[in-house]
Amino acid sequence: EAYQKLIDSGQLTAEELVIAQFLKKNCMENWSKELVASRKLYEANVVQLLIDSLSLTKEDSVAAQKAMGLCLSPESKIKDVIEERVNFQAAFAISKRYTNDYLDKLVSQVVFNQGLAQNDTLPQSAVANVQPFYNKYKDQLELFKMMQALNERIKPFVADLVGSSEGILFDLMTAQSFAGKFQEFTPLTEEELNFVSELKDPFFYTYLSDKSKEIVAINEKNKLKGGYTIHEVPQTKGEQLLADIMKPFEGKVVMIDFWATWCSPCRSAIKSFEEAKKALKEKGVVFVYLTDESSPINAWQNMISNIPGEHYRLTPSQFDELKKKFNYRGVPSYLIINKKGEQVYSKTGFEGSSVITNILENELNK
């Protein structure tokens, strides 16, 4: 529906129209019967592999039967099949019985046959322009998708409860959907503001417009702050990635903080370590902060302006490889490297400013 709205908008060039029609045809809801059947078989194989490889509780067995039942049902929707399998797999990580890394590696053994994808192909001249097309219209597509979810799922549910599908309550729900972007320090786009301006109560447009301008001002102000450096991410992995990150800091005592913007314990630890960090930095300790693309770019850029140090935003695969290398169960995790390049401390979870300070002080004095 999002691609169809974009097609109907009349703003696309001839080539963009071809790309939009191709992407619409290849959306999950438009998959051919053959492709749906192939994907269901893949999901069933994944569920069976998890059953065979993991230690299941009674609850797990019930969830497995439900997931497998959807995979094998001719009537089930492919979206529901995928969602159920993902939830079944995620439960093992949430309960901390298995790591996400282990589960992903296990599942990667099952290969999805994509050879049954749609026969329609893009003209070769348009292939290179798919990503630029998406980048250009991403905001509009996301707006269409968000409003589709709001109109098809949330509003009907509330309407059944209150007995009406109109009024200020629904304007409020729409406004709240847009306001969620502010938590990631992302202002509203022109298309989003235009949509909000059509709500019956003008208060919502005024509030969201003013808040959006405030976010823009905050982001611009934070860009002017000093004391932190955003580094280009090396295009390497594993041991070589760590070596490339460490190269500018050879001969220094380095503390590496694995964190994420959405991680409350990470932010709390950074805050509580601020005073000790100032003194250690003056003595020559280098503080390196690693996160990945699960940290939204705007939220990350805004937060690090208040976190002096060396910052890298890795790809998910790079981040996962480093966590796996050091057996980190999650974030926050910490790695301290001495002047010789040796690893002297590695831990998931913040043990407190005094513990970290003592280790760093000892390494400085060697």
User: Mean per-residue pLDDT for 88-96?
Assistant: 78
Q: pLDDT tens across 223-242, in order?
A: 788 899 999 999 998 889 99
* Residue 221: both structure tokens together: 């102000």
Closest CA to 316 of 82, 107, 146, 104: 104
- Distance (Å, rounded) from C-alpha 316 to C-alpha 133? 24
- Distance (Å, rounded) from C-alpha 24 to C-alpha 215? 33
User: Mean per-residue pLDDT for 89-98?
Assistant: 75
Lowest mean pLDDT among 30-34, 92-96, 310-314, 340-344: 92-96
pLDDT value of position 357: 97
User: Which residue type sits at 49?
Assistant: L
pLDDT value of position 152: 67
User: Distance of alpha carbon 275 from its chain centroid, rounded?
Assistant: 31
Lowest mean pLDDT among 131-145, 252-266, 291-305: 131-145
Q: pLDDT tens across 274-292, in order?
A: 999 999 999 999 999 999 8
Q: CB of 90 within 8 A of CB of 47?
A: no
User: Mean per-residue pLDDT for 314-323?
Assistant: 89
Res. 69: pLDDT tops 50: yes
pLDDT value of position 279: 96
Greater confidence (13 vs 117) lies with: 13
Reported confidence tier of residue 118, pLDDT bands at 50, 70, 90: very low
Closest CA to 110 of 40, 60, 55: 40
Q: Residue 307: which residues within 8 A CB-CB, separation 6 or more?
A: 228, 270, 289
Q: pLDDT tens across 199-222, in order?
A: 888 899 999 999 999 988 988 888
User: Mean per-residue pLDDT for 312-340?
Assistant: 92
Whether this model's pTM surpasses 0.75:
no
Res. 247: pLDDT tops 90: yes
Greater confidence (166 vs 7) lies with: 7
| Radius of gyration from C-alpha coordinates of the chain | 25
pLDDT value of position 32: 80
Greater confidence (183 vs 193) lies with: 193
Angle in degrees, CA 86, 88, 93, rounded to 5: 90
Mean pLDDT of the chain: 85
